[in-house]
Amino acid sequence: MTVTIKNEEQRDKMRVAGRLASEVLDMIGDYVKPGVTTGELDRICHEYITGVQNAVPAPLNYRGFPRSICTSVNHVVCHGIPGDKTLKAGDALNIDVTVIKDGFHGDTSRMFFAGKPTVQAQRLSQIAFESMWLGIKELAPGKHLGDVGAAVQKHVEKNRFSVVREYCGHGIGESFHEDPQVLHYGKAGTGMELREGMTLTVEPMVNAGKANVKLLPDGWTVVTKDHSLSAQWEHTVLITAGGYEVLTLGANDRR
């Protein structure tokens, strides 16, 4: 698969898809509380995407994934399958949403907490958030993918956490996953040179313990090997002539 450079019409469609994905996360936040199941959160998001937005939840049936969103709780790194899991007070939850509208994808995730988070979960989430933004701020024509990974890795490791290496960001557009792969570690000045019109995700997964992960037998759920907490934030970003445009800002960020 090759890197796709979006023209103005395609960029506008990416903007719409990105805004819709962010609106799902804006909507679902009020429902994240102790006692709710991840399956219920999935149902609410599915009905909102298909009924209110008249859009398509990209994860549903993607390579066999059985739900419309990913819900990754505590030590789950990514791709958690919504189901009977009931959130308890203090649980940390990443909700990952990808919406298809008019053939284009918008992909974003945020951390939520059921009730009051632990001090460690709050700090881990904050460092993951900051590292995502440090990576995004490296995006501009003429910069390199390694600049993004290096910025993320430096911040995470400076704060004594670790970056997951097996899973990464990606190009996105009419396909859910396009080239290039966007690693969240690396060396500045290396890797593919960035060009105006590229759209990609920056989505570091940050562990409180070691970086090692394992895939559960369901074929989707990825967890930390040492059972330590994990956190992730994600935005879809367009590279512009002057730098970058984040397409999945939530309502508070847009204000």
Residue found under tokens 């899973």: 167
Mean model confidence pLDDT for the chain: 97
Give pLDDT, residue 143: 98
Q: Which domains does the chain have, with CATH numbers?
A: 8-254 (3.90.230.10)
Q: Would the pTM of this model clear 0.75, i.e. be above it?
A: yes
The residues, ordered by sequence, that sit 6+ positions from 115 with a Cβ below 8 Å of its Cβ are 33, 34, 89, 90, 91
Tens of pLDDT, residue by residue over 109-168, are 999 999 999 999 999 999 999 999 999 999 999 999 999 999 999 999 999 999 999 999
Q: Are 153 and 184 in contact (CB under 8 A)?
A: yes
Q: Where are the alpha helices (DSSP H) in the chain?
A: 8-28, 38-47, 119-136, 145-158, 251-254
Tens of pLDDT, residue by residue over 75-93, are 999 999 999 999 999 999 9
pLDDT beyond 80 at 235: yes
Give pLDDT, residue 34: 98
CA distance 9 to 85: 41
Give pLDDT, residue 219: 97
